[in-house]
Structure 1
Amino acid sequence: MTINLTKYGLTTAVETTSLKEDGQMLGRVISQHRDLYQVITATGERQARVTGKLAHAATSPTAFPAVGDWVQVCPTADDQAQIEAIRPRQSVLARGAVNQHDGQIIATNINTIFICMSLNADFNVRRVERYLTIAWDSGALPVIILTKADVCTDLAAKLRAVADVSVGVSTITCSAETGQGLDDLQPYLTTGQTVAFVGSSGVGKSTLINRLLGQDVLTTKTIREDDDKGRHTTTSRQLIPLPTGACVIDTPGMRELQIFVGDLDQTFAEIATLSAQCKFNDCTHTSEPGCAVRAAVEAGTVTVERLQSYQKLQREMSYQGLNSRQLEQAKIQRMFGGKQAMKRVKQRYHRD
């Protein structure tokens, strides 16, 4: 059986930079269950584990494969395989991990992040800010998807609220029940594109993906009627090809999204601009004299809630207080698994 990996997001750029080692083949991680991976290759799906060498060289959890990664594998008996290396990542969406200093990768090599939020009682613009913060840092393009439009009675007000916190980000209103807005998703779902769906439990991610697939592939569950909050239905990340030629990555619902890394300047662009006008370079926007941000709050051009959200996320971010060299090292860690791994990749490129 021969698989056309273009269905799974293979592009010319990925193919031409893949390693040419004897006995190895290119594959993409399409699901993960603890230390066991499902990898799609040109010869079909294989269960795979990382080699002892790769595990030993990994200096953090982010240096292990994740859904969306392109990897070099060596086939073994019984249609299984060993993952020998991870190809350089084009984008990385990461979140904070409970009781861990390091982060947890949600998905890699994605072009677009669909940030899904339902237009019901669980609507929360502060949550949108959190998702945008990690999305802008990932290297992928964020798009806000407002689901369950068929049950919304105050759409105009909710759209205004979202617009206030998402300057420069496209917003699509849709309903999996009526089909509203599905056509607006299509420009992001062309051949070679990979899209990750993220959002809280019960917002309709799996239902929306089923509509795009044209069949019920993913298990769905309706939200609780008493509080409009959902329970987890998707329990692990998985990559699925669409009829359009794109791939989607469905992710488990995250009610509390912990920030590991993020781009606050992009998410809170107006506050970043005002900060440059503050009297002190290290202004915390609390009680310092000459604070342009506080002045904007007093003038009503920035809301108190918006500033509080910015300050809260700033305190949470693992990158807070790092200098430029430390920031670069942290980025290399996420993309390659460390400096030594990056050097090995460069050496292989030169050798090829």
Structure 2
Amino acid sequence: MNLQSIGLTEIETKEFAQINRDEDLILGRVALEHKRMYRVWTEVGELLSEVTGKFSFQAKSREDFPAVGDWVAVKPRPEEGKGTIISVLPRKSKFSRKSAGATAEEQIVAANVDTVFLVNSLNEDLNLRRIERYLLLTWESGANPVIVLSKADLCQNIEEKIAAVEAITFGGVPVIPISVETLIGLEALEPFLQPGKTIALLGSSGVGKSTLTNRLLGAEKQLVQAIREEDDKGRHTTTHRELILLPNGCVLIDTPGMRELQLWESADGLAETFSEIEVLAENCRFRDCQHTDEPGCAVVTAINDGQLAAERLASYIKLQKELAFIERKANKRAKAEVKKQSKTINKQMKQRKSR
């Protein structure tokens, strides 16, 4: 496989050269991950790989392990179709969310992505607050967001819904309505689907990600299930993240539908997603204004004047509190991990001395 065709640039080539001093490693890209086993695309073919014991020991969190889209240095065993991952190259972007459960831990959904297609259905499941969350995490990831509104052929009040979505982006993000069934709007996606570029499809279950993937791929690779008539929602189809190479050389990452999208550390993404509130806040009388009942609050004034929707401020404050809570939990967890690792190292040193 030609690595340039799946997104390799001079940046990754130079990073790999610094790692490959013994010249027995090869470069590859993680195409699929399942229970710490990885399918890696390389120039000698696809290798089923796992990380070394040293790698696992030195990893401090899930973030340190390979994720789909990562470039990795691999010691190959091509005769077996296997390999060993020695190192993960620095990521140019990563879309992360908080992992499920009470633990404050980062889960990387996709790495080294150029553009994120935020797929939302134009049926009754369209949710502006959820789109805000996706936008926040996409801006934080380092990739560029594009909002794709699917199932346009099933929408009666399409102009009204598009206007509502555009109102929360302030013209800074492309909003593209499409219908895979009637081919409406698909040509507007083509400028982003370029050879060597990586596109991640993100969205809730049943919004049409797998159907769109099949159309772009020109084959029924992903199983597609119909919308449930009783609640107008789609079923979950994709069960894992995977790199898919399109015929024109663009790399696609289809992801499972996210029923729960908990934020990860996204302070910069919050400012980008709610840029109009951030700009207004600069004119508040008090620097630490909470935008509630303080005198001289420019944000509340904008709401009263009809320039800003009250729902936007409510969402901004809610996400701000959520991020602060995650940061507190993450700090506690980091301290606990350092303490745990220190105990492990001390224990190993004592065992060596006793020998």
Distance 1:243 1:318, change over 3 A: farther
Q: Which moved more, 1:37-46 or 1:75-84?
A: 75-84
The partner residue of 1:290 within 290, 293, 296 is 296
What CA deviation, in whole Å up to 9, does each residue of 1:126-154 have, x standing for no partner? 11111000001111100000000111110
Please list, as runs of the form range in 1=range in 2, the aligned pairs for 1:9-88 lying within 5 A after superposition.
Answer: 9-19=7-17, 20-21=20-21, 22-76=23-77, 78-88=80-90
Query: Shift of residue 320 of structure 1?
Result: 7.5
Give 1:128's aligned residue.
Answer: 131
Q: Larger deviation: 253-262 or 121-130?
A: 253-262
Q: Deviations over 1:191-210 (max 9, x none)?
A: 11000000000000010011
Shift in Å, 1:319:
8.3
Counterpart of 2:80 in 1: which secondary structure?
A: helix
Percent of counterpart pairs with the same letter?
Answer: 48
State the superposition RMSD in angstroms.
Answer: 1.7
> Offset at 1:318?
5.2
Distance in 1, Cα, partners of 2:313 & 2:291: 9
- CA deviations 1:203-260 (Å, max 9, x no partner) are 0001001100111111121221111222221111001111111100000101221111
Query: Hey, what does 1:308 align to over in structure 2?
Result: 314
Q: Secondary structure of 1:211's match? A: helix
- Kindly tell me: are residues 318 and 234 of structure 1, through their superposed partners in 2, closer, same or farther at Cα, counting changes over 3 Å? farther
Question: Which one is further off, 218-227 or 106-115?
Answer: 218-227
Contact 2:31 2:68 survives alignment (8 Å): yes
Aligned with 2:141 (options 138, 141, 153): 138
Quick one: distance in 1 between partners of 2:15 and 2:106?
Answer: 27
Q: CA deviation at 1:282?
A: 1.9
Q: Is the 8 A contact 1:39 1:46 kept in 2?
A: yes
Give me the whole-angstrom Cα distance separating, in 2, the residues matched to 1:17 and 1:115: 30
Instruction: Show the counterpart of 1:92.
Output: 94
CA contact (8 A) 1:260 1:316 kept: no
After superposition, residues 1-352 of structure 1 pair within 5 angstroms as: 3-19=1-17, 20-21=20-21, 22-76=23-77, 78-98=80-100, 99-167=102-170, 168-262=172-266, 263-317=269-323
Secondary structure, counterpart of 2:243 in structure 1 = strand
User: Which deviates more from structure 2 when the two are superposed, residues 146-155 or residues 10-19?
Assistant: 10-19
* Equivalences, count: 322
Q: Distance in 2 between matches of 1:251 and 1:152?
A: 24
CA distance in 1, matches of 2:323, 2:106: 11
Asked if structure 1 preserves the Cα contact closer than 8 Å seen for 2:264 and 2:326, the reply is: no
Distance 2:47 2:62 in 1: 22
In 1, distance between residues paired with 2:229 and 2:278? 40
Report how far residue 7 of structure 1 moved: 2.8
Amino acid at match of 2:283: Q
Corresponding letter in the other structure for 2:9:
T
Instruction: String of CA shifts for 1:305-326, please: whole Å, max 9, x gaps.
Output: 111111111111158879xxx9
Task: Report the TM-score, using the length of structure 1 for normalisation.
Answer: 0.88
Stretch deviating more after TM superposition (118-127 or 289-298): 289-298
Residue 17 of structure 1 aligns to a residue whose secondary structure is helix
Q: Which runs of 5+ in 1 are unaligned?
A: 331-352
Residues 104 and 326 in structure 2, CA contact (< 8 A), matched pair in contact too: no
CA contact (8 A) 2:31 2:40 kept: yes
Q: Which amino acid in the other structure matches residue 88 of structure 2?
A: I
Indicate if the aligned counterparts of 2:147 and 2:176 stay in contact, CA closer than 8 A.
yes
Higher mean C-alpha deviation, range 11-20 or range 183-192: 11-20
Q: Secondary structure of the residue that 2:165 maps to in structure 1?
A: helix
Q: 1:85 to 1:321 in 2, by over 3 A?
A: closer
Higher RCO, Cα 8 Å, sep 6+: 1
Structure 1 stretch displaced more, 108-117 or 96-105: 96-105
CA distance in 1, matches of 2:194, 2:11: 16
| Counterparts in 2 of 1:268 and 1:320: CA distance versus 1, 3 Å | farther
Q: Which amino acid in the other structure matches residue 181 of structure 1?
A: G
Structure 2 residue runs without a partner (length 5+): 335-355
Q: How many angstroms does 1:286 deviate by? A: 2.0
Amino acid at match of 1:316: E
Cα distance change on mapping 1:296 and 1:320 into 2, 3 Å: farther
Contact 2:265–2:327 (Cα < 8 Å) also in 1 = no
Aligned-partner SS, 2:199: strand
Aligned partners of 1:196 and 1:250 also within 8 Å: yes
Q: Which amino acid aligns with 1:7?
A: S
Q: 1:185 is aligned with what amino acid?
A: L
